[in-house]
Amino acid sequence: MASAVLGIASGMALSVAMIGILAGFDKMIDLSFDVIDRSDVTVSFNEAISNKAIFKLQSLPGVIEVEPARVVPVVLRHGLKSHRGAINGLVASKAPASGRGPQHGHDSSGCGRNHFV
């Protein structure tokens, strides 16, 4: 009898846990595609380009908004540890207000990629 009660309780706990995981997954999908990245098309360039490309993309039929961003590959090092990653630069008017100092959207170093969403 005790093992049956324990089995039922374990089954219910697993069911509740799975419902929570599925709800979290649904929330993550909604956040990713409805809030963070609402674009239909992303155009990437391997080299830095001029602002003329932004204006040309804006002039295409059906384009509502163009959001330029700069992505630069970096290697972060601390002591013996290192991590390969990227620094994302946004246009100041599109950058989230974090209160952590200035955020720059233009980089003329010539490395990395420009993304137009």
Mean pLDDT by 10 residues, the chain (117 residues): 92 96 94 82 85 91 87 94 92 60 42 47
Q: Verify that 25 and 82 share a domain, yes or no.
A: no
CB 116 within 8 A of CB 57: yes
Q: Verify that 114 and 76 share a domain, yes or no.
A: yes
Find where tokens 């005790």 sit: 2
Bridge partners of 114, per DSSP, are 45, 70
What is the structure's pLDDT at 20?
A: 95
What is the structure's pLDDT at 23?
A: 95
Q: Tell me how many domains the chain contains.
A: 2
Q: Is the CA virtual torsion 8, 12, 18, 22 positive or negative?
A: positive
* 3 state DSSP class of 42: coil
Domain that includes residue 8, residue range: 1-38
Q: How far apart are CA 116 and CA 56, in angstroms?
A: 11
What is the structure's pLDDT at 107?
A: 42
